[in-house]
Amino acid sequence: MTRNLADAVESMEQLATVWRAMVLDRDPDADVRDLPGVAVRWADSRFAFWNCVTLTETGVGPDLLAERLGRAADVMRSKGRAGFLWVFEDLLDDGARAALPEAAGRAGLTLAFSGTGMAGDLLPLPEPTHPELTFVRVGTEERLRDYADLNSRAYGMPLEDGRDGLLGSTLWKKEVHAYLGLRDGVPVTCAGAVEADGRLFVALVATDPRWERRGYGEAVTRKALYEGARATGLTRATLHATAAGAPVYPRIGFVPNSPLHFFALEG
C-alpha cells in the first residue's frame, strides 16, 4: 500500500471509528451500519455533522463510484435530517477522481465544501499558553452549551442545532478532552481530542467569528492535544480540516494527506 493510500485509509477509518461513538452517544438506536463500500453513521440530529455516510473502499473506479454514490444518496434521502457524504479523494483511482463531480451530480448530490485529512506523530507537545486566553475543560452542562454555541456560530448554524448535537452528552464531558479558551471570562474558542484506535482525534475546533485570526484556534487545539496526550500517552494524532481551517494545523505538526469532499443532497 502506498503512503498516500495508507494515509487516506487511516483518515477514513478514524472518521468511521470516532463517528460511531459520537452518533451512538446522541442516540443508542442511531443508524450505524457498514454496507458494501459505504459506512453509515447517522444520528438524524439537527447538528448536521453527526449525520454522515462515507465511502470506504480503495482503488474505486468510475463504474463502482457511480454505484456507491447512488447507494449513499439513497441512504441520505431516507433520513429526516440533512447530513453529508464524505469522500476521501485518495481512495479513488485516477478515473474516478476525474469523474467525481459529474457522477455526484447524477446521483443528486452537490458539493457543499472541501477540506483535507491530516495526521502526525507530533505528541507530546509543550504545555500551551496564550497571553489572551485562559483554558477550561468542559465538564458541566453549562460549559458544554458554550462549546456547542461556539460551533454553531463558527459554522453558521442556529444555536439550537449545535445544542442538539452536544447537550446532555456524558461522552463529551468525560471522555473527550474538550477545552474552551476564555478571553476575559468569555468563551471565544474550543477544541476537543478523543482517543480512537491508538490515536488522538481532534474534533469540533471552532472560534467565534468575531475573534478569528488571533491564534486562538491553534492555542486551544494545542491544549486539547496536550491534555489528551498526558492522559493517554499517545503520540499520533489525526483530524479532518475544512479548507478555511487547514492552514492552522501544520504549525502544530500535522501533515495533510487525502483531499476530502463533503457532498449534500441537491435541493
pLDDT along the chain (267 residues), means of 10: 85 98 97 98 97 98 98 98 98 97 98 97 96 98 98 97 97 98 98 98 97 96 98 98 93 96 95
- The CATH number of residue 228's host domain is 3.40.630.30
pLDDT value at residue 1: 59
The b/e string for 165-186 (b: 16+ C-beta within 10 A; e otherwise) is bbeebeebbeebbbbbbbbeee
248 located within any domain:
no
157 located within any domain:
yes
The 3-state DSSP class for residue 129 equals coil
114 and 143 co-located in one domain = no
Cell 461556539, located at residue: 150
Distances (CA, A) of 190 to 15, 168, 236: 20, 18, 20
pTM of the model: 0.95
103 located within any domain:
yes
Cell numbers of 189, please? 474558542
Range(s) of the domain holding residue 40: 3-119+260-265
Distances (CA, A) of 102 to 38, 115, 188, 258: 19, 19, 40, 20
Total domains in the fold of the chain = 2
pLDDT value at residue 267: 81
- Tell me the one-letter amino acid at 57: E
7 and 115 co-located in one domain = yes
124 located within any domain:
no
Cell numbers of 248, please? 492552522
98 located within any domain:
yes
Alpha-carbon distance of 169 to 144, in angstroms, equals: 8
Do the beta carbons of residue 129 and residue 206 sit within 8 Å? no
Q: Give the CA-trace dihedral at 227, 230, 231, 234, to 10 degrees.
A: 110
